[in-house]
Amino acid sequence: MTGYKLIMLKDLIEELGYDKAKSILSSFSCPLNADVESFLHDKAILFEEQSYSTTYLVFASFKNKWELAGYFSLAQKQFSISDRSVNIRNYRGKTTGSSKRLIKKIRSFGTYDEEFKIHTISAPLIGQLGRNFASGDGKVKLVTGDELLKIACDKVWEVQRYLSGRIVYLECEDIPKLVDFYKDNGFVEFAKRSLDADERDTMSGEYLVQMLKDLKPKSN
């Protein structure tokens, strides 16, 4: 297994047609996250047609054949950080000086509402991210979660180089292993959002943890 190929869903549809693209998407399986699986099966093409989000498919070479290894979706959204958002914590659950500096830096990218004491920031959202458990032979991971997240962040940074910006954010269920995964990859928590009615069928808990990352490379 060598290398990855990143293909936009809209390009796949244009090249192979709707039915063939739908068949490839249906081969995706993620038993650990029903929402990630159902999005690719039932919503990705519709959201693409409505320009609501863009889905990127990650293919990996396995036994001389390209297989769907995972995917992620991106959308331009807005999020808010209140003046009380000094509770950004590191992976040990403690507020740190570096996290406070980060939140102060990130606030400078948004517009401030004096009445409600919040900063509103526009940034790319990693709306979905998932690895295909049905790919390969069940013994070899065609892509790891860390690799998939890096591919997604690299794509965001590539786009921001031309348009501006350096922040990416995401929302995840409050599952310790999942939250720790994102924290280990440089994301920090800044708020929580209550689940919408249509999210309760595929997600657990009452809210989603909102996390962000500064993508600007550190200077040597």
Q: Are 68 and 55 in contact (CB under 8 A)?
A: no
C-alpha distances out from residue 171 to 12, 179, 218, Å: 27, 10, 24
- Identify the weakest region by mean pLDDT among 125-129, 147-151, 180-184, 201-205: 201-205
Q: Which of the two residues, 190 and 204, has the higher pLDDT score?
A: 190
Q: DSSP letter string over 65-122?
A: EEEEEEEEEEEEEEEEEETT----B-TTS-B-HHHHHHHHHHHTTSEEETTTTEEEEE
State whether residue 220 is helix, strand or coil: coil
Q: Which domains does the chain have, with CATH numbers?
A: 4-214 (3.40.630.30)
Give the global pTM: 0.86
Give percent of the chain above pLDDT 70: 84
* Spatial separation of the C-alpha atoms in residues 90 and 193, rounded to whole Å: 19
pLDDT at 164: 83
Contact yes or no for 28/136 (Cβ under 8 A): no
Which residue is listed with tokens 């989603």? 208
pLDDT 10s digits, 162-199: 888 888 999 999 999 999 999 999 998 888 888 877 77
Least confident of 48-52, 57-61, 95-99, 104-108: 95-99
Give the integer Cα–Cα distance in Å for 112 and 121: 9
Q: How confident is the model at residue 83 (pLDDT cuts 50, 70, 90)?
A: low
Q: Provide the pLDDT confidence category of residue 79 given band limits of 50, 70 and 90.
A: confident
- For residue 94, the model assigns a pLDDT of 47
pLDDT in tens, 31-78: 988 889 999 999 999 999 999 999 999 999 888 889 999 999 999 998
Alpha-carbon distance of 180 to 47, in angstroms, equals 29
- Residue 185: phi and psi, rounded to 5, are -100, 20
84: pLDDT confidence band, cut at 50, 70 and 90?
A: low
